[in-house]
Amino acid sequence: MKHLAFLLAFTATPALAASGPFFSLANTNFVVLLAFILFIAVLLKFNVPAMLTGQLDARAEGIKKDLDEARALRDEARGLLADYERKQKEVQTQADGIVAAAKEEARVVAEVAKADLQTSIERRIAGAKDQIASAQAAAIREVRDTAITVAIGAARDVIAANTSAADGNKLIEDAIKEVGAKLH
């Protein structure tokens, strides 16, 4: 059956389909025209063009709402972007200020540390000078004490060698009197 339909489709020509008078049901062009007019009438009877127009208008309205919503979202997004860019600039300005303040504080702290170090060095130098002076005074005292001890020993030896027993007793008595006078 498929082969027969295929064979008839190739053998039929448009010229053979439209034979005879035009206003005859045997003429396919007239039948097609009647069917088309009937189709258009049915469409108009059931108000299909108005329904199609309504659906197209509804779809256009929906698309318009979607576009308006998209514009509103785009405007909102631009506003948010501008707000975030402004906030980013503010944050960048604050960060730059913080960095500048930190650099200034570090410079001040370095100057204070330098001054403290200088003061500490001066104190250590003063302490070292005091220690040197104390050591020098101790050395002078020790040399003096040693010189006194040597001088006393030498004087004792010289006095012992040059003094007689009577002179020694007289010196001792004079010393005892002098001590007694100073103590009373």
Percent residues over pLDDT 90 in the chain: 51
* Residue 8 counted as domain residue: no
Residue written as token pair 């053979």: 16
pLDDT tens digit sequence for 17-61: 556 688 888 888 989 999 999 999 999 999 998 999 999 999 999
Residue 149's pLDDT is what? 84
Specify the number of domains making up the chain. 1
Q: Is residue 24 in some structural domain?
A: no
Q: What sign does the dihedral 135-139-142-148 (CA atoms) show?
A: negative
pLDDT at 13 over 70: no
Map residue 51 onto helix, strand or coil: helix
More confident residue, 90 or 180: 90
CA distance 51 to 44: 10
Report pTM. 0.39
The answer to whether the beta carbons of residues 174 and 182 sit under 8 Å apart is no
Where in the sequence is the domain holding 69, given as residue range(s)? 30-161
Q: What is the pLDDT of residue 19?
A: 62
Tokens 């007019």, residue located: 37
Spell out the residues 6+ positions from residue 171 whose beta carbon is closer than 8 angstroms to its own: 163
pLDDT of residue 183: 75
- Kindly report the average pLDDT of the chain as a whole number: 85
How far apart are alpha carbons 68 and 15 in whole angstroms?
56
Q: Is residue 101 part of a domain?
A: yes
> Distance (Å, rounded) from C-alpha 167 to C-alpha 153?
19
Residue-wise DSSP of 81-125: HHHHHHHHHHHHHHHHHHHHHHHHHHHHHHHHHHHHHHHHHHHHH
Higher per-residue confidence, 20 vs 64: 64
pLDDT tens for each residue of 88-129: 999 999 999 999 999 999 999 999 999 999 999 999 999 988
pLDDT of residue 61: 96
| Domain contains 9 | no
pLDDT of residue 5 exceeding 70, the answer is: no
| In a domain? residue 174 | no
- Rounded Cα–Cα distance for residues 48 and 158 (Å): 158
In this prediction, residue 169 carries a pLDDT of: 79
